[in-house]
Amino acid sequence: MPNVETIRGRIEAHSDLAALSVAEASRRIASGAIMPSMLLEAVLSRIDAVDGAIHSYLRVDRDAARKSALASDERAKTSKLLGPLDGIPFAVKDNIYTAGMETTGGSRVPQRHDSTINATLVSRLEAAGAVLVGKLNTWEYGTGTGAVYFDLEAPPSRNPWNTAHFTGGSSTGSAAAVAAGTAIFSIGTDTGGSVRLPAAACGIVGLKPTFGRISRHGVMPNCWSFDTPGPLALSVEDAAMIYDVIAGFDECDPTSLSVPIEPTMPNLKKGIEGLKVGFVRNLDPGDAPPEPAILDALARSASAFDRLGAEVVEVDLPIAPSEYRSIAMPINRAESFSIHERDYMEYRQLMGRALREKLDMGMYLRAADYLAALRQRRALVARTDEIFAQVDVLLLPMTYRVAPPIRDHLAVVSYTAGSAGSPFSLTGHPALALPAGFSPEGLPLSVQLASGFNNETLLMRAAWALEQVLSPEPRRAEPQHVLSTVSEEEG
């Protein structure tokens, strides 16, 4: 990595454009205040400035991105923009296939996918004029055990708010990029919380929609019955803009829902007066209760909902979040092994330890345990869905603590295993991680909201209203801040 002074010298005068939200950048492009190519160069400047410290990317295609941005420039000049994402630079997790740009899943294992395939979500974003910059860092194959062993070819992504700390996983680079401005928005995948957990760790918005709402065609599978792509963005408005473009039925995905999509943007700012919010209280007992800063963020959220006109009531999930995870794990491990068995048998020696250990467990899992978990899951989906007949939105933690130091192995594993992301991965309900300020140590805080099936519009309406209280001016980690934490770590 270049030294700090060299990196600092690369920050160009216009790099502050990389701090813009999708919504603000879109407004400026539409008004002619900036051109898409200017925005792209600002993002590329950010990459040059800080990516040696945060490792958000595995590969960047500057030539292709510049070509796309120039095409957006021409449309902007003639007032023929394709929509609000036209000219907005984005990047995708490296388990999402992109035609003409290698997809490796962050692995040394040779990949067999067709390099001409574009994931449906990528095709939809490019058809809307968004500018693909590159492929983002990830846990190998977008999965693992929660541990970070520093044994992959690329170094793990670092948290832009403090590079000595963990980003959450598995969409590590997807969160780091948005938090640092090396992408204006990104797309990750969520199997057990892998969009929401890194979003929480890095202080941004992460949306896991209803299972089947966003096509998985062209996405490397991890766990067939859980995998869900989702946007990571600076604000709820940004996430809504992205969701409205990429959601919808896709005949290429057999799990895709054909239920009509209700656009989120027209309803986003209508307020939440009269909504009923369920404040989840049966969190995990024992030695892993949420930290005081997380509990304070939840209390502030409940109070804000009350002031905004919603009715806040205490509710219990059918079981504690950790118990959902216990049911999810046999399903996750068995399905992952069934998908990756051939790679495991042929290339196990090339895999990193975290992926290898997960597949080891999947190989020896009993069919009886997998089937028992499926039966438990079916009953639990119905019991969880009954809650949404009583309340419109649930409020609960996403994580129980702030992001730990990345080299504290036990803390990293505990952070992942102790999150509250599993319930809605197991059931398929939509859920969202929302920034809730910062801890006294300067690390991001987050809360989680969830809603009923196919109710993303209501979920994001509630999230936008709460965001106006918790983080009305969302911000990215500026290069100078990132570099100062590098200095502290190296010192």
Query: For position 142, what pLDDT does the model report?
Result: 97
Instruction: Decide the pairing of beta strands 276-280 and 311-315.
Output: parallel
Q: How far is CA 251 from CA 195, 338, 481, in A?
A: 24, 24, 45
100 vs 423: which has the higher pLDDT: 423
Residue 241, pLDDT > 70, answer yes
Quote the CA–CA distance of 291 and 300 in Å, as a whole number. 14
Half-sphere exposure of 463 (CA within 13 A, CB side): 32
Helix axes 22-31, 236-246, angle to 10 degrees: 80
* Residue in 469, 448, 440 with CA at minimum distance from that of residue 200: 448
Quote the CA–CA distance of 367 and 225 in Å, as a whole number. 16
Query: For position 4, what pLDDT does the model report?
Result: 47
Cβ distance 142 to 189 under 8 Å? yes
Q: How far is CA 43 from CA 17, 66, 122, 156, in A?
A: 8, 11, 19, 21
Query: For position 285, what pLDDT does the model report?
Result: 66
Query: For position 115, what pLDDT does the model report?
Result: 85
> For the whole model, what pTM was predicted?
0.96
Quote the CA–CA distance of 87 and 68 in Å, as a whole number. 8
* Residue in 331, 451, 327, 334 with CA at minimum distance from that of residue 387: 451
Cβ distance 3 to 41 under 8 Å? no
Cβ distance 40 to 131 under 8 Å? yes
Architecture of the domain made up of 4-490: Alpha-Beta Complex (3.90)
* CA-angle at 482, arms to 477 and 486, nearest 5°: 160
Q: How far is CA 6 from CA 3, 10, 95, in A?
A: 5, 7, 32
CB atoms within 10 A of CB 100: 10
Residue labelled with tokens 């190998």: 140
Token duo for residue 193? 């919380």
Residue 299, pLDDT > 90, answer yes
Query: For position 14, what pLDDT does the model report?
Result: 52
* Residue in 31, 436, 459 with CA at minimum distance from that of residue 275: 459
Mean pLDDT, residues 240-263: 96
Give 227's contacts (C-beta < 8 A, 6+ positions apart).
189, 190, 191, 216, 219, 221
User: Using one digit for the tens of pLDDT, what is the confidence trace for 414-434?
Assistant: 999 889 999 999 999 999 999
Query: For position 237, what pLDDT does the model report?
Result: 98
User: Using one digit for the tens of pLDDT, what is the confidence trace for 36-68?
Assistant: 999 999 999 999 999 999 999 999 999 999 999
Catalytic residues: 93, 170, 194
Give the DSSP letter of residue 212: T
The confidence band for 13, taking pLDDT boundaries of 50, 70 and 90, is very low
What distance lies between CA 30 and its chain's CA centroid? 27
Query: What type of residue sits at position 117?
Result: I
Instruction: Decide the pairing of beta strands 431-438 and 444-451.
Output: antiparallel
Instruction: Decide the pairing of beta strands 185-190 and 89-93.
Output: parallel
Sheet holding 89-93, edge to edge: 57-60, 131-136, 89-93, 185-190, 228-233, 205-208, 431-438, 444-451, 393-397, 276-280, 311-315
* CA-angle at 440, arms to 435 and 444, nearest 5°: 20
Quote the CA–CA distance of 233 and 245 in Å, as a whole number. 14
Mean pLDDT, the chain, as a whole number? 95
Query: For position 114, what pLDDT does the model report?
Result: 85
21 vs 3: which has the higher pLDDT: 21
